């Protein structure tokens, strides 16, 4: 309840006081100049309690980026990585030393060799052949000089045909006639001119020379060929004739 007072100057000294000496906060005293009326507005003196705390303010704008910090300490070692792909093939290494000699082969290899020499195997290797007694004459159709044919027959497990009687010579003749190609026999006089021997060096025990042969024509005929008639002729070993082996 406001109390409005209009007092004259005579009354001023009664209520005029300095604001600093007021006994209560919030009391307002307006002091007028002397010789004038003074308007004094008063409010009932009361104890003023402090107000409530204000609300939090809004978040301010983001500050500037700070300076770079100091380098940190070295961290712990990480786990091992996965295995990478295989690299390119390396260069070939030097040849190693020769190994020790191996043990003797088992019985199976011997059986296989017997199989290769069996009539069945020979029949397949040399399909065009003749059987005389326990000897087999066969050709594969291959042609070559004396040394070449001799080597081929040995590699096949036999040797060049070396007929030792009329029956065996007849078998050779039939093969020559059938193929219409002359063959070399396993007979020659390479070691000693005029002395024909088998491949093992022993003198021949049978022959069927063409009349007038052997004549060692031009001094270069040291091997023996068989004509389609079954007759023999000494011939240069460098001639290329049909192969005929005996087993
Ligand atoms: Ca000769
Ligand atoms: Ca001759």
Instruction: Please give the average per-residue pLDDT across 218-246, as a whole number.
Output: 97
Other residues' Cβ atoms within 10 Å of the Cβ of residue 15: 13
Ligand nearest to the CA of 232: 2
Mean pLDDT across the chain: 78
State pLDDT tens for residues 7-59.
Answer: 444 444 444 444 444 444 444 444 444 444 444 444 444 455 667 777 777 87
State pLDDT tens for residues 140-157.
Answer: 999 999 999 999 999 999
What is the CATH number for 142?
Answer: 3.10.100.10
Contacts 24+ apart (CB under 8 A), 107-111: none
Q: Say yes or no: 127 and 211 in one domain.
A: yes
pLDDT of 110 above 50? no
Overall domain count for the chain = 2
User: Do the domain assignments include residue 104?
Assistant: no
User: Do the domain assignments include residue 61?
Assistant: no
Q: Is the peptide bond before 214 cis (omega within 30 degrees of 0)?
A: yes
Q: How far is the CA of 119 from the centre of ligand 2 (A)?
A: 35
The domain of 32 spans 3-42
Q: Say yes or no: 129 and 222 in one domain.
A: yes
The percent of residues in the chain predicted with pLDDT above 70, rounded, is 70
Q: How far is the CA of 5 from the centre of ligand 1 (A)?
A: 176
Q: Say yes or no: 123 and 215 in one domain.
A: yes
């Amino acid at each position: 309840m406001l109390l409005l007072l209009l007092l004259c100057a005579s009354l001023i000294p009664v209520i005029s006081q300095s604001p600093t000496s007021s006994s209560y906060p919030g009391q307002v005293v307006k002091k007028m100049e002397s010789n004038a009326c003074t308007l004094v507005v008063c409010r009932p003196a009361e104890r003023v309690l402090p107000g409530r705390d204000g609300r939090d303010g809004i978040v301010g704008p983001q500050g500037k980026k700070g300076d770079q910090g100091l380098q940190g300490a070295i961290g712990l070692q990480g786990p091992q990585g996965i295995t990478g792909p295989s690299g390119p093939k390396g260069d070939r290494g030097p040849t190693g030393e020769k190994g020790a000699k191996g043990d003797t082969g088992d019985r199976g290899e011997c059986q296989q060799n017997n199989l290769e020499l069996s009539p069945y195997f020979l029949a397949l290797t040399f399909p065009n052949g003749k059987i005389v007694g326990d000897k087999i004459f066969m050709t594969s159709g291959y042609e070559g000089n004396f040394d070449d044919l001799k080597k081929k027959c040995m590699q096949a497990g036999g040797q060049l045909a070396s007929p030792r009687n009329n029956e065996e010579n007849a078998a050779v003749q039939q093969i020559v006639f059938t193929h219409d190609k002359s063959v070399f026999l396993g007979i020659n006089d390479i070691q000693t001119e005029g002395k024909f021997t088998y491949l093992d060096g022993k003198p021949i025990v049978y022959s069927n020379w063409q009349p007038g042969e052997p004549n060692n024509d031009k001094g270069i005929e040291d091997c023996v060929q068989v004509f389609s008639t079954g007759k023999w002729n000494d011939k240069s070993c460098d001639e290329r004739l049909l192969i005929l082996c005996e087993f």
